[in-house]
Structure 1
């Protein structure tokens, strides 16, 4: 197995933060809600540390759409 450098981990962490921001911004615009509310929903939806933020955002959006349909 290839040994990864510490800088690789920090780069991956920064990349995941950028992806999280992009996912939050995308859903924020689609649902026309404020940033803090969407970030709170993403943090609530994110149950496992291995789940990506974009997957959590997508799941959050699907849950909201299902709630709207059921009403």
Structure 2
């Protein structure tokens, strides 16, 4: 993960970090970047870094680990 990013109105205390696998390369004309934040002790929130105030996917700790395992 890289440097902390902009806050999200629905998660005021969350520290968002851009994935080290996010790229400056583009998909069409847009950069492909994902950010994640710990939300409480047992959840992770994921968002598109191009829209920091936009929609967020919330995952339980187990779902987050499953997602990461599938992506590897």
Scaled to the shorter chain, the TM-score interval is under 0.3
Choose between structure 1 and 2 for higher RCO, CA contacts under 8 A separated by at least 6 residues: 1
| TM-score scaled by length of structure 1 | 0.25
Q: Name whichever structure is richer in helix by fraction.
A: 1
Query: Quick check: which has more Rg, 1 or 2?
Result: 1
Higher-strand-fraction structure: 2
TM-score w.r.t. the length of structure 2 is: 0.25
